[in-house]
Structure 1
Amino acid sequence: MNTLKLLPLFAAAAVTGLTLTGCSSVIDKIQPEKAHEFASTQDLARDWNQTADWLPADSTQIKIREASTGGPAILATTTDDDLDPAQCVETERQSAPTYSDDWSPTDVYVDHVFACGNWAVIKTDGGWYGWTPNDPDEKAASPAQ
């Protein structure tokens, strides 16, 4: 009977031990998403293992939620600049974000998005919000392939 009372304590200790030892594969299976924040596009380019070439150079307050293995992601940024027409073109929306966060816009189901390579991007108050992957037809419309 005493052993059963101690079982939750042992389980908690084991999980804490795995977390503190940096056993990322266990953490990734428990929580298959991760979040990042970058102050600038330079920080993002240096420290993130994916790319978002569509981001205006003056972007700040870059927030990302993505799969812990890379792959699907959402990204929000603050900027006054427009998207580069050599990277992005407006097209009919055919995709939707895989993730959301408290900083995500509430209305992503708009009629049109900007196709920027494998990202779909929409204008927000004060910046841009994008998700990847987008639909293959959106990607095909993009000048940045």
Structure 2
Amino acid sequence: MTPHRTPPLALALIVAAGGALTLALAGCTGIQDALSQETTAEFSDAADLEARWDTSVPWLPADATAIVTKTKPDSDIATVLLRSGSALDAATCTEVDRESAPTVNVPEGPDVYAASRVFACGDWSVAATDQGWYGWTPNSAGEKEQAAS
């Protein structure tokens, strides 16, 4: 009987595929971000976000904590999920019919399609969550116009 040998190239491909599978199963955010061309970041509170993040969030409550952001690099597309017990500032945000949805999503964020109303805060739309707020930019032109009025 002749022993069966796997050709070296086939063996290398099997090992590489197994490694890719292992990485995919690990659920590593860095790998997911690299493949999706999205960047996820976490901030402890509002001061931390304002100090380290280069995107303006004019509606951000001062008591915001446990902040998670997701962005598309080199664009204005962003999403923010945070904990807060504060209401949004009425001078900055106006409740409107939802016309938009996030382009990038924080996995722990709410289903924004379940909300018929959101707050328009300039370029941002913001939906209430059980523990705070979930905002995205850009929003629709209609939402932005209503925020300015």
In structure 2, relative to structure 1, the CA distance for the partners of 1:92 and 1:107 (3 Å cut) is: closer
Give the fraction of aligned pairs with identical amino acids, expressed as a percent. 38
Could you tell me which runs of 5 or more consecutive residues in structure 1 were left unpaired when the two chains were aligned: 12-27
Report the AA paired with residue 102 of structure 2.
P
Check whether the contact 1:50–1:70 (CA below 8 A) recurs between aligned residues: no
Contact 2:118/2:126 (CA < 8 Å) preserved in 1?
Answer: yes
Q: Which runs of 4+ in 1 moved over 6 A?
A: none
Q: Tell me how large the CA RMSD over aligned residues is.
A: 2.5
The alignment of Structure 1 onto Structure 2 pairs a total of residues equal to: 129
SS of residue paired to 1:142: helix
Matched with 2:110 is 105
Aligned equivalents of 2:47, 2:37: Cα separation in 1: 26
Aligned to 1:75: 80
* Counterpart check, 1:142 vs 2:142: no
Counterpart amino acid of residue 142 in structure 1: A
Partner of 2:50: 45
Question: Using the alignment, how far apart are the partners of 2:112 and 2:145 within structure 1?
Answer: 24
Larger Rg: 2
Question: Within 2, Cα distance between the matches of 1:90 and 1:140?
Answer: 12
Unaligned runs of 5+ residues in structure 2 are: 1-6, 17-32
**C-alpha distance 38-70 of structure 1, shift in aligned 2 (>3 A):** farther
Deviation at 1:4, TM superposition (A): 4.4
